[in-house]
């Protein structure tokens, strides 16, 4: 919850993961609490990298985006 910083859990969740597809769930029908529980059980469902810069958290940012953030 701390990493989310008030954002919806879907921003941190990797819906493209084969682990999620294997569950057979519809992404629009899963609550934030369920997404968090799934990420805790299966870390591959967390969008990576997770980077904290100046107190802000970024999920799945590519190298170019991170470079722009730290400039």
Residue 52 lies in a domain: yes
Residue pLDDT, tens place only, 25-52: 999 999 999 999 999 999 999 999 999 9
Domain CATH code at residue 65: 3.40.30.10
Strand locations in 1-71, DSSP E? 50-53, 56-59
Which pLDDT score is estimated for 39? 97
Q: Regarding predicted confidence, which is higher, 40 or 69?
A: 40
The pTM for the full model equals 0.84
Residue 33 lies in a domain: yes
Tell me the pLDDT band of 68, cut-offs 50, 70 and 90: confident
Residue 53 lies in a domain: yes
Q: Which residues contact 9 (CB under 8 A, 6 or more apart)?
A: 32, 33, 35, 36, 39
Residue pLDDT, tens place only, 53-67: 889 999 988 889 888
Which pLDDT score is estimated for 61? 82
55: containing domain: 9-70
């Amino acid at each position: 919850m701390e990493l989310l910083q008030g954002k919806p859990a879907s921003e941190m969740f990797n819906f493209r993961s084969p682990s999620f597809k294997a569950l057979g769930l519809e992404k629009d029908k899963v609550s934030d609490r369920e997404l968090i529980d799934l990420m805790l059980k299966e870390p591959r469902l967390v969008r990576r990298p997770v980077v904290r810069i100046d107190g802000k958290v970024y999920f799945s940012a590519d190298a170019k985006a991170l470079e722009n953030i730290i400039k």
